Structure 1
Amino acid sequence: MAGVVTSFDRDSHDLSIDEEGFYDTETDFVTFEINQDVAFGNGTITNIFGWRTYEADSFGDIDSQPVWIFHSKSWTETEQYSNELRYSGVFADKAHVTAGLYYFKLDVDYHERRLIAGGANVFDGGGYYNVETKAVFAAVDYDLSDTLILNAGLRYTYEEKGAKIVSLSQNISGPAGPTCNLVSPEAGEATCTPDFVDDDNWSSVSPKLGLTYNLSQDARIYAHWTRGYRSGGYNLRNTSFDPVDTPGPFDEEIVDNYEIGYKSEYGRGRFNATAFYNQVEDMQRELNTAGPIGTIQLIRNTADADIFGIELDGAFALSDNLLLTSSIGWLDAEYTKVKADLNGVDGINSADKALDLPRAAELTYSVGLNHDLNLGDWGYMSSRISYAYRDDSAYTDDNLGVINDQKILDAGIDFHSSDNHWIFGLYGKNLLNDVKHGGDTQLPDSMGGTFAPLAKGQIIGAEVTYNF
């Protein structure tokens, strides 16, 4: 989609903004771990406690035009606690058992402000989100023989979530000031009145069943089935003017994963190979479409899908000082049932089912070389070069937004002093000067057309590090 003032070729590094913007974050965290050996099963009881706070403050030029059409600010504050109590032990020299309890609590305050037409129109929204999760789990690896192992596990999870949401479409003001505040440096007391208040809960059972066969001490094959869940919840970015588009709750996403693989380590390297098949039910997606206040984001359970993939990776020592690394992945993803009008045309039909799944690149691969050179009393020099490729893929569910294919060549040389204090480095990133863009957000014509963040082109630099 063409920009309202200026446009650039997608295969160029040209861009236009009138606001440089920023993204500042601050994180504090504490983790405590206690381990106690016990006679029961010759095992260990472990308790891990974690606390974390996160604050983020950002401002961005969303329209990517040389005039102020659509800028956005956001503020986020979160605090979370978690605690895991688990036991691990071995019984009858055959059953390796792990079992435990898990607790997690999260509080989120989020405020987004959209400033349209130089701030002539201001939209405020966001909300308050609280999450409480409790889980119990157990797993066992049982030696059926000297080479064959049964892998089994089960986890039960119960979650409660509550949301108080301030819709951006309901809080509009002019240049005199914002309608309300939720959380921001200048906010003071919160003045926003939530227009959506709700809470819900979900419970799930996640099993695992598989077998591992040890071909030798350094090689094994395995096969397993697991079921996982992506939690249900609410959307704090309620941007739609249609009262039908409520911010939730959306339901859990269910994934059945069938996987078979080979893993090995040997004297000169390693080699791994995996084939997997995923059946996804009630896929959670953020539908991203152009709207009157920039872009509308709706989180919905949009479809069921099948995903088949193969991955290979390995490392091989070509000599005592030269290491070759490589990987390749192939993916085939398709919808099996569509539950939402993904392309926004004529309701749900075969055209929606024919769309590509977002961010499912068909082919990816990489190859690299790492070399170490002994410099005697001077120390040693480490050099590296790598090339990576990724196919293009859809970014938005309607396939209007895309992520281009990427060919990235990186290289570097580091000199390490013999006393291990100094490191002098030269590096090059994206040496082919390949264009990397993604996050292809759809904006209305009046706000600048498509917005796609652009990664940096070729970078050559030097760095010096001193280790005390």
Structure 2
Amino acid sequence: MKKLAKTALLAGAAWSALGTIAFAQDAAPTQDPSAVDDIIVTARRRDESLKDVPIAVSVLGQERLDETGATDITVIQQQTPNATVQVARGSNSTLISFIRGVGQQDPLWGFEPGVGLYVDDVYIARPQGAVLDVYDVSRIEVLRGPQGSLYGRNTVGGAVKYVTNGLSDEPELTVRGSYGSYNQIDLLAAGSMPLSDTFRVGAAIASYDRDGYGTNLNTGAEHYDKDVLAGRASAEWEPIDSLSIRLAYDRVEDKSNPRHGHREVAGATPGSGIPGSVYDTNAGIGDDNSVMSQGLAATVQLDMNDNWTFKSITAWREGETDTVIDFDNTPAPTLDIPAFYADDQLTQEFQFLFDYDGAQGLFGIFYLEGHAEGAFDTIVGNPFFPVASQFVIGTAGYVDTTSFAVFGDVNFDLTDRLHLSLGGRYTVDEKTGHVFRANYATATRSPLTGGTSRAPTLQRTNYTNTREFSEFTPRIAVNYDLTDDLTTYASFSRGFKSGGFDMRGDAILTPDTVNGYDPETVDSYEIGLKGALDRLSFSSAVFWNKYQDQQVTTQVPAVGGIASFVDNVGSSTFFGAEFEGRLRILDNLDANFSVGYLESEFEEFLRYNLTLGVYEDISNQVVLQNAPKWTGYLGVTYRADMAGGQLAVTPSVSYRDDYSQFEFPNPVLDQQAYSLVDLSIVWTDSSDRWLVGLYGKNLTDEEYRIGAYNFAGATFDNSLIGYYGPPQTVTATVQYRF
């Protein structure tokens, strides 16, 4: 099945190219509403045709999301080349993202993602609550490669933009209900109402409930269930023709049970066998979990004259998480982690956009003030060890961040066909970090997470430090219009992810942890070709990345606990290619496709030797995590008139090559190549009011890991834990627009 799917994907891409030549000979050009030059994106923070943007961008519009039954933002992994967008291990709503092998999977406070997430141009700094459900959405844009000049720090891999729907001038109301496998019940209501000629209000609320794919065999609780309530409210006011003001508030509450994972190898303690289902667990720490994320944003746009526009984006966000993670997945407290996180951020961005005959672009200023804090316990209570040897490591701390940046991006029309884009950003970050880590006697919660009040038996870390990081991230691109429908470009861009402090750092085992770690940078060289040829719209790119001062988080067993490293381990290189697009095979038959290829390797990987107390280069022992060599997607949509409306049938297959969960390969935990087969059948009436859909996901019931933990050894009862993607599901949806 895997080889067949891979062959189909590559053959689909080849057929697209061959089909273009054939149709060019015997068919007149047709106006395809999905053609690249008709898609408007805001990849450069202003409205532009996708064809004219010298950036690799994938776009999933509302129609495509509806046709494929997209449920949340992780759907972009299947349809975007060289992308990893998944639910984090042990969570239901925490996001991990990698693009072209660059990202960050550690959601602990103080660590920052390597792929930026934006909702209507508002930066989402923390990954908790960031698995956005697809409701009230206009499109999702995926910008691949460093976006340092316009999107700033922490976009070394790229950026994902979630663009919500604007409010209509006419009263609107949409209601939607879905029922599916595992007693899935999803409900949505979204609407807007003009209160005057210049003022509109709108709101959307969605409820997502589902029984678990598995069971906690120890407690009887649902496992891999879903219990999410999300809402959004907005208001738009245009007091004069040249001024618009938009206020938006959103909130997500996730009360799903924690995901404890699946034990991949048996241990020695009671209940440490391998459960029969990959969705079952024997975790004993409990099933309480709560995540809340909310934010408020105000966007003001003023057209100062025919050439200049001023834009202000002010946003506040906060989040809270109370959770538990059972790393050993046994009833015993062999390696249990109760934890809480909290964060808040305030951002302000001013943009000055201009548009003249020979030059277009913008200049801006960005400011962020953020606070992230938390605490967690590492309860080490192996029942085969003497009681005196059982203990808990308590960890707590915070990071305060102040970030200021000035940026600009200008496109010059050197001739009618030749264009030069110059951009740059200068960022200054100041971070203050506090880390406390100590051993407490007995294997129960420490005072840091609400346990019995007692003094530590050994203080491992207790420091406060402040560091400043600054970086200039340039971008230069040249694009040439080969024809009115074809554009080629070459670009160089740099991205950087800020330095910081290891919130797990152990000053006894790794004394240098008090100094923090430095920023990492990615230099990217890219050439691309995009446009439309008769019935084919496509985008392609070839790129080479140099990843330097790479930040890598690893944790290893050590005498007296677990040693955590967040080091600037060295450097790696990436080479890859991407091809995606849409082919109109027949007037009623379309093929959407994407193929991604990625080669990556470490050139240097410095690892601290706990025994010798020195750094060693072990680059010949490691690989890049979440960096499969091949990714691909092929979906064919057939449309036909039926019962006063249109029927769209879309079978699809996505492919993902072998990849490692961590920098250190592990044959037990690493995921082998797999394919996901989906089928959607959607009917919409001629007035576009009714939508009836039937969506089948993972129809071959593939079992595939999306995350893991590796705590091998007797101390932790050989805890190798896997987390899995959804099994086969079928969902029916009915939607009506008033």
The aligned amino acid for 2:472 is V
Cα deviation for residue 434 of structure 1 reads 1.5
C-alpha distance in structure 1 between counterparts of 2:442 and 2:737, whole Å: 53
1:381 alignment counterpart: 647
Q: Which residue of 2 aligns with 1:232?
A: 499
Q: Determine the structure 2 residue equivalent to 1:112.
A: 376
Q: 2:329 aligns with which of 42, 60, 64?
A: 64
CA change 1:9–1:273 in 2 (3 A) is: farther
Is 1:102 the counterpart of 2:369? The answer is: no
Counterpart of 2:292 in structure 1 is 26
Shift of 1:467: 4.6
The answer to whether the aligner puts 1:443 opposite 2:708 as a matched pair is: no
Letter in 2 for 1:101: I
Cα deviation code 1:215-248 (max 9, x no counterpart):
1222200001112111111122336751425254
Deviation at 1:254, TM superposition (A): 1.4
Compared with structure 1, are the counterparts of its residues 304 and 343 closer, same or farther at alpha carbon in structure 2 (3 Å cutoff)? farther
**Closer/same/farther in 2, CA of residues 267 and 173 from structure 1, 3 Å limit:** farther
When the two structures are aligned, how many residues end up with a matched partner?
Answer: 457
Supply the AA of the counterpart residue of 1:61: D
After superposition, residues 310-459 of structure 1 pair within 5 angstroms as 310-340=577-607, 351-353=618-620, 355-377=622-644, 379-400=645-666, 402-417=670-685, 420-446=688-714, 447-449=716-718, 450-459=720-729
Partners of 2:733 and 2:726 in 1: CA distance: 18
Partner residue, 2:255: none
* Equivalent position to 2:568, from 273, 277, 301: 301
The one-letter amino acid of 2:721's match is F
Residue segments in structure 1 that go unaligned for 5+ positions in a row: none
Matched, 1:50 2:315: yes
TM-fit CA distance, 1:348: 6.0
In structure 2, relative to structure 1, the CA distance for the partners of 1:199 and 1:349 (3 Å cut) is: closer
Decide whether the 8 Å contact of 1:2 with 1:448 is kept in 2: no
Structure 2 counterpart of 1:262, from 519, 529, 538: 529
* Distance change (3 Å), C-alpha of 1:380 and 1:121: farther
**Residue identity opposite 1:137 in structure 2:** F
Within 2, Cα distance between the matches of 1:466 and 1:344? Answer: 66
Structural mapping, 1:128-143, within 5 Å? 128-143=398-413
| Relative contact order, higher structure (CA 8 A, sep 6+) | 2
Q: Secondary structure at the match of 2:707?
A: coil
Partner AA of 1:425 in structure 2? G
Contact 2:528 2:541 in 1 (8 A): yes
Percent identity between matched residues is 23
C-alpha contact (below 8 Å) 2:583/2:591 kept by paired residues: yes
- Per residue, is there more strand in 1 or in 2? 1
Q: Which of the two has greater helix per residue?
A: 2
TM-score by length of 2: 0.57
Q: Deviations over 1:44-82 (max 9, x none)?
A: 111111111111222222212354422222211111111
CA gap 1:286/1:308 in 2 versus in 1, 3 angstroms: same
Gap change, CA 1:342 and 1:285, over 3 Å in 2: farther
Q: Which amino acid aligns with 2:319?
A: Y
Separation (CA, whole Å) in 1 of partners of 2:279 and 2:673: 18
Closer/same/farther in 2, CA of residues 255 and 390 from structure 1, 3 Å limit: same
For 1:251, the equivalent position in structure 2 comes to: 518
The 5 Å alignment of 1:161-240 reads 161-167=431-437, 170-174=438-442, 177-181=445-449, 195-238=462-505
Q: Tell me if structure 2 keeps the 8 A contact 1:136–1:156.
A: yes
Q: CA deviation at 1:18?
A: 2.9
> Alpha-carbon deviations, 1:259-286, whole Å to 9, x = none?
0001113553411110000011111111
Change beyond 3 A, Cα 1:288–1:432: farther
CA distance in 1, matches of 2:363, 2:609: 42
Q: Given that residues 239 and 293 in structure 1 are in contact (C-alpha distance below 8 angstroms), is that contact kept between their aligned partners in structure 2?
A: no
* RMSD after superposition: 3.2
2-structure distance, mates of 1:136, 1:349: 39
Cα distance, 1:371 vs structure 2: 2.9
SS at match of 2:724: coil
Q: Deviations over 1:314-351 (max 9, x none)?
A: 11122233221111111111122333359999976675
Q: Which amino acid aligns with 2:303?
A: D
Q: Deviations over 1:403-457 (max 9, x none)?
A: 3322111112233355655543322221122121143321132324211212232
| Matching residue's letter, 2:433 | A
In the alignment, the residues of structure 1 paired with residue 401 and residue 300 of structure 2 have an alpha-carbon distance, to the nearest angstrom, of 26
Q: Secondary structure at the match of 2:646?
A: strand
Partner of 1:159: 429
Deviation per CA, 1:153-185, whole angstroms, max 9, x where unpaired? 111110100111122xx142436652334xx8x
Deviation (angstroms), 1:206: 0.8
Q: Is the 8 A contact 1:76 1:111 kept in 2?
A: yes
Structure 2 match to 1:123 = 393
Closer, same or farther in 2 for the Cα pair 1:51/1:116, shift >3 Å?
same
Q: Separation in 2 of the partners of 1:249 and 1:127? A: 14
Distance across 2 between alignment mates of 1:461 and 1:467: 20
Change (3 A) 1:122 1:423: farther
